[in-house]
A = this chain, B = another copy of it.
């Protein structure tokens, strides 16, 4: 039960947990074989009550704790899936992970989480760690791997990526229809009468491409194709600062902003407030993800909802399907987004809801 002072820091077999009583020790104390101890530890029904009791007692007395590492090596199964999270500070990812863990628990799978820190290199390392740990499947939640890394992962084993649209064929995907979500946002703004709608682009984030092209197609459908205006921003609050400043300095500043995600939108809201701009009076703003942040009354951000919990569960379901079906064409699950209209969107100054202005060529 207690870790042993003297041995700490000895070169080998030093640290916590290693160098503890083993099955052998328990077997010896209970005067049975190691195999029997193993059976007891695995709740085998074919053990007599008497032996079971004495084994359990011996285990308790010694403070025995099974060594998962040894067990995994012996049974060649980890019963574990690895979840790579792009950014632990973005609540959106936390919600997806909640879904993943719920479904994993239902199937007796352990979930190990590694943090990607919004950095492609570190994410590639994390993936490598999962692979070396022999997880049975991997979920990439928001990972921004480049194509070659993605390909490597896909080849290495079951891997589900949270993403939508065109992704490397080697990995399965579960995602919200980002393109459609972006279209919903633009349609909403266009219907309110906005024409000068700028997209704050998500940069290297996996979902950035789809949302960008959804924005573009939304603009075109609204007859605003000539006004497409995409500004590189990012996916974090801090990433909004520069772009907003730049936009406000514009000769013809936008009347509406469609931000890559809620965090970026929140950052934009901050900066707009600093600049004394009224939202939605002077400028309307739409986010993406419908995190709890957007629901805060004082932000009350219009945003696009993603069914995070369902996505998380579906990720694991997909992983399991892949595990049982073996390699084949990529599986693609696309869930539907929903526009959540709150208080950061309204008609443009002077614009009317019922008579949307015709696109002014710049």
Contacts and interface: CB of A to CB of B under 8 A. Distances in A.
Contacts of A218: none
A17 B155 CA distance: 11
A156 B76 contact: no
A360 interface: no
Contact of A13 (B76, B87, B273, B324): B76
Given A88-B94, A132-B67, A9 B323 contact: yes
Contacts of A323: 8-9, 15-16
Contacts of A155: 1-3
Copies in the complex: 2
Interface string A129-148: 10111111100000000000
27 contacts: A5-B326, A6-B326, A8-B323, A8-B327, A15-B323, A16-B131, A16-B137, A16-B156, A17-B135, A17-B136, A18-B134, A65-B156, A66-B132, A67-B132, A68-B129, A68-B134, A69-B73, A69-B78, A73-B73, A87-B94, A88-B98, A89-B94, A90-B94, A98-B115, A111-B115, A113-B114, A296-B298
Given A14-B76, A85-B88, 19 more contacts: A1-B155, A8-B323, A15-B134, A15-B137, A16-B134, A17-B156, A17-B157, A65-B131, A68-B129, A88-B113, A89-B91, A89-B94, A89-B95, A89-B98, A90-B94, A101-B115, A113-B114, A113-B115, A296-B298
